[in-house]
Structure formats: structure tokens, C-alpha cells
Amino acid sequence: MSDNPYASSYGGQMNVSASYGGGAPAADDLIKDTTTANFARDVLEASRHQPVLVDFWAPWCGPCKQLQPVIEKVVRESAGRVKLVKLNIDDHPSIPGQLGIQSIPAVVAFVGGRPADGFMGAVPESQIRQFIDKIAGPADADEKAQIEALLAEAKTLFEAGDVAGAADLYGALLQADPENASALAGIAECMIAVGQHDNARQALANLPEAVAADPAVSAVLKKLDQIEEARKLGDPAALEHALAVNPDDHAARMKLAKIRNVEGDRQAAADHLLLIMKRDRSFEDDGARRELLQFFEVWGPMDPATIAARRKMSSILFS
């Protein structure tokens, strides 16, 4: 049984790194020895894809023996952010000679096929970590980029109608980061899409205050409130009939707008409220405008329906 509470309805747990083709490189791929003949391939060419640290050393060098296990440990823990290539200067003196290496241990970072930075001496582990952060970016930068890419992929799947695929990705993210507000909102949207409204509300219950206040989470909670309200508003066909008899039945039109909104017909929902605004701003103390603003919060500022309705609303307000 999956231990992912968010994936049980959608076919189980997915490993986050799996969608990126297997995660970090094996440790053996991160550290290697090189030669003069292979330096261009192992360092210059490789550094066009990720930073490469070159450790210039010699067997007789005591500080080199102190540095190597420390730098190898840090590189392995960097999970693929950098590679380490070691060059014995006794066996291969031409490269360090060309680079002006005059004392060892010396470490030079190559980026994009060129030397970018370096340090000399058996420096402490903390300084090596700072050096790698400077060359490759902070340790969490890649993780943040991966999370953003997964969120974008899940959103694309959801919008394409692949609710199960989107839920798998959101569930994987929540397995790694249970308080990720965007993933929480996303998994709740998936639950709403398959009619699991109570589960969606439960997924967003008892969250830390900062997470609950996130716009993505509050928008989904507001959407659940709108769905719950719409269930109590009556038969849309009867409301349509009431409007056919009396187009100025603003109460019926307001109810119908709320129903069309939860049905997903955003244009119809907005048009009903805009018509009320145009005919009677005093109805429910400008209630149509306030309701439309509530719709915008759920739809999001960049949704085409939001943009179109805002334009129409402005023309009514400022005409």
C-alpha cells in the first residue's frame, strides 16, 4: 500500500526524481582521474554541461592527501551539481604549466570550457561547500527549479484533462514537501474534478497558518464554498425560464451566474453578473460586482475569462 495520503485515489505514489530520468548521477560518475590526452574531453567539454572542479595534486604532497577525501565527500554530496576531475601533475605536467599552477593542492573550476575560479591549499570542508555554491549556485536552487517544473507539468496535465496524471505529480511533490501550497491546491483541484469535494476540503484542513493563507489554497477553498452554495440554488432550467419571463429578475440571474461558474462556463457566469451591473448597480448593494470579484480570485488574474470580464467591467464602471 502506498504511504502517500494524496495519491491513493489516483493509482499510487510516484517518485519525484523519476520524472527527470533517474535523479542524481552515480557517485562514480562524479569523480574521475584524467590525463593530458583526455583533459579536453573530461574537463573542457564536460564543463559545457556542468561545472567541473579540477584538483591538481601529486603523490608526495601531504596537503593534497588531506584535501582529496574532503573535496570528494563534498562533491558526492552535491548530487551532480559539479564534477571532480583529478590530475597528477607529476605524470601530466603540461596542463598545470599552461594554467600557471605553481603550488599544490590547487583546485580550478571550469565552466563553459574555461577556468572560472579556484583556490589553493587544504581548505576546510565549509569553504569547499561555499566555493561550490558560488560556482554552481545554492544547494536548493536545483531543487526549487525541479519543483517548479513539476508543478508546471502537473498543471499542463490537469488542463489537458489528465486528472490522474496531474494528481500523481502533485502527490509526489507532497510526499517530498507536505506543506507545498501549490501542490496542496493542485491535489485539491484534482479531487474537485472527480467529484471528491469532501476529500478536497479535508486535504486543505488544519494547515499551518502561512500555508492556509497562500492565494492558491485560499482560491480552492473559495471554489469549494462556491460549489457548496451552488448546490442550494435550485434548478438552472427553472432559473433560465424565470429570466425568459422577466429578464430583470436579478435574483434568478445571480443564482444562475453562480451555477454556471461551478459548471465551468466562466463566460456565461461573468456575462450574467455584468448584465446585472449594467442594469442595476444597487441590486444587493452592488452585489453583482462583488460576486464577480470573488470569481476572479478563484479563476486567477491571468485567466482569459478574468481578463475579458475585467475589461467589460471597466467599461461599465467608467462609461
Active centre residues (catalytic): 61, 64
Give strand pairing partners of 108.
Answer: 54, 118
Q: Please say whether the beta carbons of 274 and 293 come within 8 A.
A: no
Q: Which of 143, 102, 99 is nearest to 121 (CA)?
A: 102
Geometric angle at alpha carbon 24, from 156 and 153, rounded to 5°? 0
Which residue type occupies 289?
Answer: R
Q: Which of 143, 145, 167 is nearest to 155 (CA)?
A: 167
Residue written as cell 464554498?
225
Q: Which of 238, 210, 165 is nearest to 7 (CA)?
A: 165
Which residue type occupies 212?
Answer: A
Q: Which of 120, 85, 114 is nearest to 101 (CA)?
A: 120
**Sequence-distant contacts of 124-133: CB under 8 A, at least 24 apart:** 124/70, 125/70, 125/73, 125/74, 128/70, 128/71, 128/74, 129/74, 131/107, 132/51, 132/53, 132/74, 132/75, 132/78, 132/81, 132/82
3-class DSSP assignment, residue 117: strand
Q: Cell numbers for 317, please give them.
A: 464602471
CA–CA gap between residue 253 and residue 266 (Å, rounded): 14
Give the E-state strand segments of 89-185 in sequence order. 106-111, 114-120
CA–CA gap between residue 56 and residue 43 (Å, rounded): 13
